[in-house]
Amino acid sequence: MDQVRRTVSALALSLSGAACATLPDSYTCCNLHYDYDRISDANWRNLPMIPAGAKIRVVEYGLNRATVEIDGKPIRIAHEYGRDRESVESYVAKLVVQDDPKARIAACSPEVQRAIFDGVVVRGMTREQVLLAVGYPPTHRTFTLESNVWHLWASRAGRYEVHFNSDGTVERLVGAR
């Protein structure tokens, strides 16, 4: 079974690598935080930020990582924390979108636009707006986006929670600010 899984994974990697060269320009789905040349799936809020809507192109996939170019600069996307719950290809597919999210951001209230541009969460935001502002929560702690609580990271040591009410909007934040 392990040999079959490795063969299927190798085939998927080779096909995805071949497909990368033919993909049109894409955009970052959300704000992504980086450390030197690396984006972690923890997306630590205290690091410098690449804004939602930056041009991105997938160059290649490797074991638990992808190499991309963002605005022409090479950077690695590391899939560390959620790799037991989803493949690196699935994770990267969430981050690389065909439609520029800037139009969705422009449709938000001025307060929500400011929060997204600052990479923070404020009360009243929808799940989609939270995703734009702080990215996807790592799947090892937040198994589904339908969860009423998302577990996110401000830094390697600082975790915080976003609590949604029954209407799907942010009701409160708990933890590091």
Tell me how far apart the alpha carbons of residues 43 and 46 are, in angstroms, rounded to a whole number: 9
Tell me how far apart the alpha carbons of residues 29 and 149 are, in angstroms, rounded to a whole number: 21
Instruction: State percent of the chain over pLDDT 90.
Output: 76
Domains in the chain, start-ordered, CATH in brackets?
2-97 (no CATH), 102-175 (3.30.1450)
Nearest-10 crossing angle of helices 127-134, 110-118? 30
Query: Nearest CA to 28 among 83, 71, 80?
Result: 71
Residue-wise pLDDT for 64-89, tens only, equals 999 999 988 999 999 999 999 999 99
* Cβ pair 116, 172 in contact under 8 A: no
Whole-model pTM: value is 0.84
Residue-wise pLDDT for 86-97, tens only, equals 999 999 999 999
Give 137's DSSP letter.
P
* 55 C-beta neighbours (distance < 10 Å), count: 13
| Residue written as token pair 């707006």 | 129
Query: For residues 142 and 102, which has the higher predicted lDDT (pLDDT)?
Result: 102
Sign of the CA dihedral running 35, 37, 42, 43: positive
* Cβ pair 45, 130 in contact under 8 A: no
How much is the pLDDT for 20?
Answer: 44
How much is the pLDDT for 24?
Answer: 58
